[in-house]
Amino acid sequence: MELDRIYNMDCLEGMQQLPSGHRYCVVTDPPFNVGYHYNEYDDCKDEGEYYEWLSDIVSGLPCVIIHYPEALYKFAFQIRQFPERVVSWVYNSNTPRQHRDIAFFGIAPDFNKVRQPYKNPTDKRIAARIAAGCEGGKMYDWMEVDQVKNVSKSDFKGVTHPCQMPEKVMRNIVGVLPDDVVIVDPFMGSGTTAIAAIKNNRHFIGFEIDATYYTMASRRIEAEQSQLTLF
């Protein structure tokens, strides 16, 4: 198994084949077990089975999990571990839920590594920092980023992924992690985690069980890799 590739396989199998000699961190937006329609996955597991399944996939590795708050509490209970930090991702949508949480388990993020625009750029002290070349303040414990709307045309036979993550969210997450970790996404989907890793100059490995989504993600990743030189 090689770095900087996505594999069309069940993640439980793939996670057992990660090459040795690297420091890994799982970064993923997993299926939420809410009955969502996927081509190759049944999103309606028994609750106990679901959290045991997620725990088996992570396999004790440091991980960053994106989920609804209640689910993260249950996941923390399942793995018997408190998160190091939690960040809220908020968005304006026509759904009952307006945010998800991002929990860092077994790994400490450095919020100084990702800069966000100052909230009060007209303040004299902030204006002086901007004039001196400062690009913004450190990342907050929340981020407001719109969801990806699956209404645009796809570049692969008109198919879109039903749960595509915003690139900015994934880039922020990867950006605050230690520089030497290899990013692993067991549910690569449309490939956004890999794109975030590439743009943050990090190695990655991804798994996607659905052949159609795998092809979509592979094309997207290859296009990004062709534009950037890694290391």
Domain borders along the chain are 5-227
Residue 92, pLDDT score: 86
Residue 158 has pLDDT above 80, yes or no: no
Bigger pLDDT: 178 vs 147: 178
Computed over every residue of the chain, the mean pLDDT equals 89
Residue 10 has pLDDT above 60, yes or no: yes
| Burial class of residue 120 in the structure, from the number of CB atoms within 10 Å of its CB (0-12 exposed, 13-18 middle, 19+ buried) | exposed
* Tens-digit pLDDT profile for residues 160-205: 666 678 999 999 999 999 999 999 999 999 999 999 999 999 999 9
What's the rounded mean pLDDT across residues 92-102?
87
Give the span between the Cα atoms of 101 and 173, in whole angstroms.
12
pTM attached to this predicted model: 0.89
Residue 151, pLDDT score: 43
Residue 152, pLDDT score: 43
Any idea which residue has 């725990």 for tokens? 55
What's the rounded mean pLDDT across residues 153-161?
52
DSSP H helical segments within 80-191, as ranges? 124-131, 167-175
Residue 79 has pLDDT above 90, yes or no: yes
Q: Which amino acid is at 194?
A: A
* Tens-digit pLDDT profile for residues 204-216: 999 999 999 999 9
Cβ count within 10 A of residue 198? 22
**DSSP of 5-43:** EEE-S-HHHHHTTPPSSSEEEEEE----SS--B-SS-B-
Residue 30 has pLDDT above 80, yes or no: yes
CATH 2.40.50.140 for domain 5-227? no
Give the span between the Cα atoms of 186 and 26, in whole angstroms.
8
Residue 159 has pLDDT above 70, yes or no: no
Residue 150 has pLDDT above 70, yes or no: no
What's the rounded mean pLDDT across residues 73-81?
96
Give the span between the Cα atoms of 194 and 204, in whole angstroms.
6
Give the span between the Cα atoms of 1 and 162, in whole angstroms.
28
Phi-psi region of 87 (alpha: psi -120 to 50; beta: other; left: phi over 0): beta
Give the containing element (helix H, strand E) for 197: helix 192-199
What's the rounded mean pLDDT across residues 133-158?
72
Work out the pLDDT band at 229, boundaries 50, 70, 90.
Answer: low
Residue 136, Cα to own-chain centre: how many angstroms?
23
